């Protein structure tokens, strides 16, 4: 996809890749076996795209594997890859703000996007330090980045998150923290240049539940990208969590790409034109699941 003013085509891919556990579930293969399938998915679905990859449940060794695979699988000159990689990331491990625990990274191409600012926010009562609150079973984070497109000079606010799977109040409060951060950025130093906002990730919330309801409420600046594509035009599955086939639970839709307004306005017209929505397969003929979640892919055009 070639960027031309006054707008840019953009693909957002989000995928909970399932952390590299030492005690796999029935039907789950070790990360070492799943990794090549996951990398092929990411490479194929971001080739020749101005793309962001938002991942969840990523341990440090998995992040290293993903970045190595992305950078070795791109056609750039081998001599420049180590010093000028095709792909880079923002994010930290949630347990210590460094490398421990799961990341929710945003992976991007530095040749396409200039990183202006980034931070990790803990979804708790103490958002500046590693912590959990309310009924959360695990520490939870949102990764936030401000990126400017080199060609068009349009700027976006990008967010990747993974909400708690156990705590209903935690998900409710986390959704409000995310909305407050969006408001902070829209009123802050980058507010005048941000053209659009997206939030991608695993909300652990179905469409009738707390986090989704808060994040897509009428007063929220965010809208579910799926609503802009007619059902007949969507590709793949509706459900995004499949499990590994033995959990005894119904598949559900809990992974999303939400698109947001650029600035405070009475208009609900998004700067995004959504051109495609897909939920990809996570298992093929050999029966190996690359994750217990399916990737969500959204193709948009960000208008200036």
Give 128-153 pLDDT, tens digit per residue: 999 999 999 999 999 999 999 999 99
Indicate whether 168 pLDDT > 50: yes
User: What confidence score (pLDDT) does residue 73 get?
Assistant: 79
Indicate whether 5 pLDDT > 60: no
Indicate whether 190 pLDDT > 90: yes
How many structural domains are present in the chain?
Answer: 1
Which two structure tokens, joined as six digits, stand for 36?
């090549």
CB 121 within 8 A of CB 114: no
The confidence band for 266, taking pLDDT boundaries of 50, 70 and 90, is very low
Q: Is residue 203 part of a domain?
A: yes
Indicate whether 4 pLDDT > 60: no
d(CA 114, CA 110): 6
d(CA 43, CA 72): 10
Could you tell me which of 137, 186, 141 has the C-alpha nearest to residue 166? Answer: 137
Question: Cα torsion at 193, 300, 295, 173 (round to 10°)?
Answer: 40
Q: What sign for the dihedral angle of Cα 261, 263, 264, 265? A: negative
54 CB neighbour count, 10 Å cutoff: 30
User: What confidence score (pLDDT) does residue 271 get?
Assistant: 87
* DSSP states along the chain: ---BTTEEEEEEEEEE-----SSPPTTPPPHHHHHHHHHHHHHHHHTTS-EEEEEESB-HHHHHHHHHHHHHTS-S-HHHHTTS-S-EEE---TTTSSSSS-B--EEE-TTTEEEEEEEEEESSSSTTSS---TT-SS--EEEEEEEEETTT--EEEEEEEE--SS-HHHHHHHHHHHHHHHHHHHTSTTTTTEEEEEEEEE-S--TTSHHHHHHTSTTSSEEEGGGGS-GGG-EE-S--B--SS-S----B--EEEEEE-SS--S----SEEEEEEEE--SB-TT--BS-SB--EEEEEEEE-
Share of the chain above pLDDT 90, in %: 88
97 CB neighbour count, 10 Å cutoff: 15
Q: Is residue 123 part of a domain?
A: yes
Q: Return mean pLDDT, the chain.
A: 93
Q: Is residue 45 part of a domain?
A: yes
Q: Is residue 38 part of a domain?
A: yes
> What's this model's pTM, rounded to 2 decimal places?
0.94
pLDDT tens by residue, 91-116: 999 999 999 999 999 999 999 999 99
Q: Tell me the sheet residues that pair with 222.
A: 260
pLDDT tens by residue, 52-93: 999 999 999 999 999 999 999 765 555 445 567 899 999 999
Q: What angle do CA 155, 144, 22 make, to 5 degrees?
A: 140
d(CA 6, CA 271): 12
Structural domain including 106 reads 7-303
Q: Is residue 1 part of a domain?
A: no
Considering only residues 242 and 85, tell me which one the structure prediction assigns the higher pLDDT: 242
Q: Is residue 2 part of a domain?
A: no
Q: Is residue 243 part of a domain?
A: yes
Q: Is residue 98 part of a domain?
A: yes
Q: What is the CATH number of the domain that holds 82?
A: 3.60.10.10
User: What confidence score (pLDDT) does residue 2 get?
Assistant: 44
The confidence band for 303, taking pLDDT boundaries of 50, 70 and 90, is confident
User: What confidence score (pLDDT) does residue 304 get?
Assistant: 72
Measured in Å, how far apart are the chain's first and last C-alpha atoms? 17
User: What confidence score (pLDDT) does residue 1 get?
Assistant: 44
């Amino acid at each position: 996809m070639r960027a031309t003013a006054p707008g840019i085509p953009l693909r957002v891919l989000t995928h909970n890749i399932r952390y590299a556990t030492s005690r796999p579930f029935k039907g789950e293969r070790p990360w070492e076996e799943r990794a090549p399938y996951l990398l092929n998915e990411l490479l194929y679905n971001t080739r020749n795209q101005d793309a962001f990859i938002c991942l969840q449940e990523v341990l440090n060794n998995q992040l290293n594997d993903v970045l190595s695979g992305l950078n070795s699988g791109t056609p750039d000159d081998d001599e420049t890859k180590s010093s000028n990689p095709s792909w880079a990331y923002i994010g930290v491990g949630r347990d210590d703000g460094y490398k421990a625990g799961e990341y929710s990274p945003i992976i991007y191409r530095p040749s396409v996007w200039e990183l202006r600012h980034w931070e990790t926010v803990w979804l708790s009562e103490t958002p500046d330090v590693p912590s959990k609150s309310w009924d959360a079973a695990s520490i939870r984070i949102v990764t936030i980045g401000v990126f400017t497109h080199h060609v068009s000079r349009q700027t976006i606010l990008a967010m990747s998150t993974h909400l708690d799977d156990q705590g209903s109040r935690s998900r409710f409060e986390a959704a409000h923290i995310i909305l407050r951060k969006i408001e902070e950025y829209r009123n802050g130093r980058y507010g005048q240049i941000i053209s659009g906002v997206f939030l991608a990730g695993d909300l652990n919330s179905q469409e009738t539940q707390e986090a989704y309801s808060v994040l897509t409420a009428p007063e929220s600046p965010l809208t579910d990208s799926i609503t802009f594509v007619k059902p007949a035009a969507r590709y793949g599955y509706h459900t995004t969590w499949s499990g590994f086939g033995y959990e005894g639970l119904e598949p559900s839709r809990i992974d999303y790409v939400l698109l947001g307004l650029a600035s405070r306005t009475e208009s609900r017209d998004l700067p995004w034109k959504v051109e495609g929505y897909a939920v990809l397969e996570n298992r093929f003929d050999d029966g190996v699941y690359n994750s217990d979640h399916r990737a969500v892919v959204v193709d948009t055009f960000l208008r200036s």
